């Protein structure tokens, strides 16, 4: 999510860092910072200015001292702590010699900070990352060199990281490490580079190497050497890179939408990380509503627009099933004007990727005016929605660039379902062993999404076979219904073709009149509890000449006798299925749109964030 860059041995260290940060801004940009280091000490500059943060950083760097050959840079997409300059990286140790930058989440930062503070360390930010600077400081004070200090520090942290550290008392060295979050090393004669993504160093390095999970790399001007967490030497994997800058920013994919579809397992992993504390209690650190306040909730209203509305619809099923709280979902622009009832005990949840959608902000303002507690579910830290709400849950999908929302949807469903489990825990509506099983099942969804992603070619083949069709219906029952709505929304916004999402059982009450030869009906058929009914619905549309595409689980043997095309997905707990079933539908919409030569990242007439009513 954050972008990181490092350089050792350069004559133009600061310029290299600032240029690299500009090229990383597509990863997130709420603040930025650099640290330069040499025998004379460590110099740092940081700035927070939203989309202009690197520009603001450049101003901060106008009086930077010269002659430094080693430096680190970071552009931040906040996960812990507001996007303010004090939380911008690099973070320093107490003496100001060690600087660290970090992308990821340190799960046990709370307990580590407590221990470090009890030993006299002073923290200056509200981030999970700063603990790394102080852990390394202690290890250096115990006589370890920087590489060993980073290695032993990492033995105590849990979570995800791509991190880099420098220390003015060990000049011309950067030590970096990775677990989950990406990290690449680049080399050129006399200079060694480090980056979260290739674009940052694309025109600087001539050879590139991937750092694998739990590997530590020591970079010097002459090159690098790598070890594993036990200290044994390892070889980094060379990368063959022949991308131009634009391709590199898209991670080598043709467009941001493909990149973001493929990032869904990571978005899930990040959103679910660090959500359960001691005694298996599900916890949202950033959420300030007390357990008592949550226990007293008697009714939940979710308000949202577009894709976020569909994620909210999925959440309704989970909240009612698991927590037994009455729940309704409203389109934001409707809620505000319908004179809503807000009673004591009503909790309103505003769901928004951007946190800036004016319809959703106005809806939650209306709810607050009527006395409701409001929780924001936002992908952007400190968004307007998050700032105005009484409490917030952050999805951590990372910056979403493509107008068509993809990874934000799966992250929202995961966060809201986890919230439903927390409510169930508080209200005692599920046995603890069921909470445990569901929690573990949720953690496994990312891997199942990865399997669905691996079947991309099968989906593209179906889209190609249906290339001439112009009318599409998307049907589902239970949580398959919001999945069908989301599949239809993706399809219409990308292809500009008529696509309607419908509850499968409602078809016979009117829309069935539209079914005729040439119409394509896409059916989400993965939920065993409604499977027979879905098969009947398929028969109804088949009898009227429609072509049927079914999203079906790997173990479903009955589906092949009724569907013309099958998009297979791994079976899962039905409540989790929208996060998996949406994957082939995203790819189906994408492939059809590409076949029609549409710009998939920027569909006509649409904006990424809608800030007008």
Q: How many CB atoms lie within 10 A of CB 275?
A: 22
Q: At closest approach, how far in Å is the CB of 362 from ligand M6R? A: 12
Residue 173 to residues 5, 62, 68, 153, 480, Cα–Cα distance (Å): 14, 25, 12, 17, 53
Which CB atom, from 8 or from 380, has the smaller least distance to ligand M6R? 380
Active-site annotation holder among 2, 58, 250, 259? 2
Which CB atom, from 486 or from 527, has the smaller least distance to ligand M6R? 486
Which CB atom, from 83 or from 355, has the smaller least distance to ligand M6R? 355
- Which residue in 341, 384, 381, 394 sits closest to 359, CA to CA? 384
Q: At closest approach, how far in Å is the CB of 381 from ligand M6R? A: 14
Which alpha helices (DSSP H) does 354-479 contain, by range? 358-369, 384-388, 407-427, 432-453, 456-465
Tell me, what DSSP letter sits at residue 344? Answer: T
Torsion sign over Cα 523, 527, 529, 532: positive
Residue 35 to residues 65, 70, 184, Cα–Cα distance (Å): 11, 9, 19
CB 451, CB 570: distance < 8 Å: yes
333 binds ligand M6R (CB under 6 A): no
Interface residue with ligand M6R, options 357, 448, 537, 577 (CB under 6 A): 357
Residues 6+ apart with CB under 8 A from 268: 410, 411, 414, 445, 446, 449, 579
Q: Which of residues 168-227 bind ligand M6R (CB under 6 A)?
A: none
Query: What token pair was written down for 325?
Result: 């709280």
305 binds ligand M6R (CB under 6 A): yes
609 binds ligand M6R (CB under 6 A): yes
x-or-dash string of contact with ligand M6R, 471-510, rule CB under 6 A: ------------------x---x-----------------
Which CB atom, from 73 or from 355, has the smaller least distance to ligand M6R? 355
- Which residue in 375, 370, 368, 411 sits closest to 390, CA to CA? 375
577 binds ligand M6R (CB under 6 A): no
Alpha-carbon span 480 to 485, nearest angstrom:
9
404 binds ligand M6R (CB under 6 A): yes
Q: At closest approach, how far in Å is the CB of 581 from ligand M6R? A: 16
Interface residue with ligand M6R, options 354, 364, 537, 553 (CB under 6 A): 354
Give kind and range of the element (H or E) at residue 323. none
Which CB atom, from 161 or from 419, has the smaller least distance to ligand M6R? 419
Q: At closest approach, how far in Å is the CB of 595 from ligand M6R? A: 19
Interface residue with ligand M6R, options 53, 192, 307, 448 (CB under 6 A): 307
Nearest residue to ligand M6R on Cβ basis: 306
Which CB atom, from 404 or from 523, has the smaller least distance to ligand M6R? 404
Tell me, what DSSP letter sits at residue 85? Answer: G
> Radius of gyration over alpha carbons of the chain, in Å?
25
Alpha-carbon span 117 to 122, nearest angstrom:
6
Where does this chain touch ligand M6R (CB under 6 A) — which range of 172-180, 295-303, 399-407, 532-540?
399-407
Q: At closest approach, how far in Å is the CB of 355 from ligand M6R? A: 7
Alpha-carbon span 359 to 184, nearest angstrom:
41
353 binds ligand M6R (CB under 6 A): yes
405 binds ligand M6R (CB under 6 A): yes
Active-site annotation holder among 94, 533, 542, 608? 608
Where does this chain touch ligand M6R (CB under 6 A) — which range of 76-84, 159-167, 215-223, 605-613?
605-613
608 carries an active-site annotation: yes
403 binds ligand M6R (CB under 6 A): yes
425 binds ligand M6R (CB under 6 A): no
Residue located via tokens 């992908």: 379
395 binds ligand M6R (CB under 6 A): no
Residue 245 to residues 194, 198, 200, 402, Cα–Cα distance (Å): 17, 9, 9, 18
Residues marked active site are found at 2, 608
**Interface residue list for ligand M6R (CB under 6 A):** 305-308, 352-354, 357, 360, 403-405, 489, 493, 606, 609-610
């Amino acid at each position: 999510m954050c972008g990181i860059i490092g350089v050792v041995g350069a004559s133009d260290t600061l310029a290299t860092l600032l240029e690299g940060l500009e090229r990383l801004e597509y990863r997130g940009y709420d603040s930025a910072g650099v640290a330069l280091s040499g025998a004379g000490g460590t110099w740092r500059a940081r700035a927070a200015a939203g989309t202009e943060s690197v520009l603001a950083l450049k101003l901060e760097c106008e009086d930077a001292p010269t002659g430094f050959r080693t430096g680190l840079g970071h552009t931040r997409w906040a996960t812990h702590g507001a996007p303010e300059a004090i939380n911008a990286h690099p973070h320093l140790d107490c003496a100001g010699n060690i600087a660290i930058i970090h992308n990821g989440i340190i799960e046990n930062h709370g307990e580590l900070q407590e221990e470090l503070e009890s030993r006299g360390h002073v923290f200056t930010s509200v981030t999970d990352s700063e603990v790394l600077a102080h852990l390394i400081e202690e290890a250096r004070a115990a006589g370890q060199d920087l590489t060993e200090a980073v290695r032993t520090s990492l033995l105590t942290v849990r979570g995800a990281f791509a991190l880099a550290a420098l220390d003015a008392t060990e000049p011309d060295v950067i030590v970096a490490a990775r677990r989950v979050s990406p990290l690449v090393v680049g080399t050129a004669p006399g200079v060694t580079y480090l980056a979260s993504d290739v674009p940052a160093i694309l025109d600087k390095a001539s050879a590139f190497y991937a750092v694998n999970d739990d590997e530590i790399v020591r970079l010097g001007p002459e090159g690098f050497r790598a070890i594993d967490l036990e200290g044994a030497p390892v070889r980094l994997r060379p990368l063959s890179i022949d991308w131009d800058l634009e391709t590199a920013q898209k991670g080598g994919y043709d467009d941001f939408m493909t990149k973001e579809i493929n990032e869904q397992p990571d978005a899930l992993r990040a959103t679910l990380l660090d959500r359960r504390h001691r005694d298996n209690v599900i916890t949202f650190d950033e959420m300030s509503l007390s357990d008592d306040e949550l226990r007293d909730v008697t009714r939940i209203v979710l308000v949202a627009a577009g894709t976020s509305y569909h994620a909210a619809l999925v959440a309704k099923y989970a909240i009612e099933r698991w927590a037994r709280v009455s729940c309704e979902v409203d389109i934001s622009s409707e809620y505000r004007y319908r004179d809503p009832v807000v009673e004591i005990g009503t909790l309103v949840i505003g769901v928004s990727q951007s946190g800036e959608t004016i319809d959703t902000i106005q809806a939650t303002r209306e709810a607050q005016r009527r006395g409701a507690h409001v929780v924001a579910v936002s992908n952007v830290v400190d968004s307007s929605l998050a700032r105005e709400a009484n409490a917030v849950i952050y999805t951590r999908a990372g910056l979403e660039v493509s107008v068509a929302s993809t990874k934000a949807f799966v992250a929202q469903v995961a966060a809201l379902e986890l919230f439903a489990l927390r409510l169930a825990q508080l209200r005692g509506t599920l046995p603890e062993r069921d909470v445990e099983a569901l929690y573990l099942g949720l953690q496994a969804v990312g891997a199942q999404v990865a399997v669905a992603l691996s079947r991309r070619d099968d989906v593209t083949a179906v889209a190609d076979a249906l290339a001439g069709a112009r009318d599409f219906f998307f049907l589902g029952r239970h949580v398959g219904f919001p999945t069908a709505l989301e599949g239809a929304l993706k399809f219409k916004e990308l292809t500009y073709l008529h696509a309607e999402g419908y509850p499968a059982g409602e078809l016979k009450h009117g829309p069935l009149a539209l079914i005729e030869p040439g119409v394509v009906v896409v059916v989400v058929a993965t939920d065993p509890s409604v499977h027979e009914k879905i098969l009947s619905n398929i028969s109804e549309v088949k009898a009227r000449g429609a072509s049927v595409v079914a999203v079906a689980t790997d173990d479903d043997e009955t589906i092949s006798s009724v569907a013309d095309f099958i998009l297979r997905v791994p079976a899962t707990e039905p409540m989790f299925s929208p996060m998996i079933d949406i994957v082939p539908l995203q790819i189906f919409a994408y492939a059809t749109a590409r076949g029609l030569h549409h710009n998939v990242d920027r569909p006509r007439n649409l904006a990424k964030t809608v800030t007008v009513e």
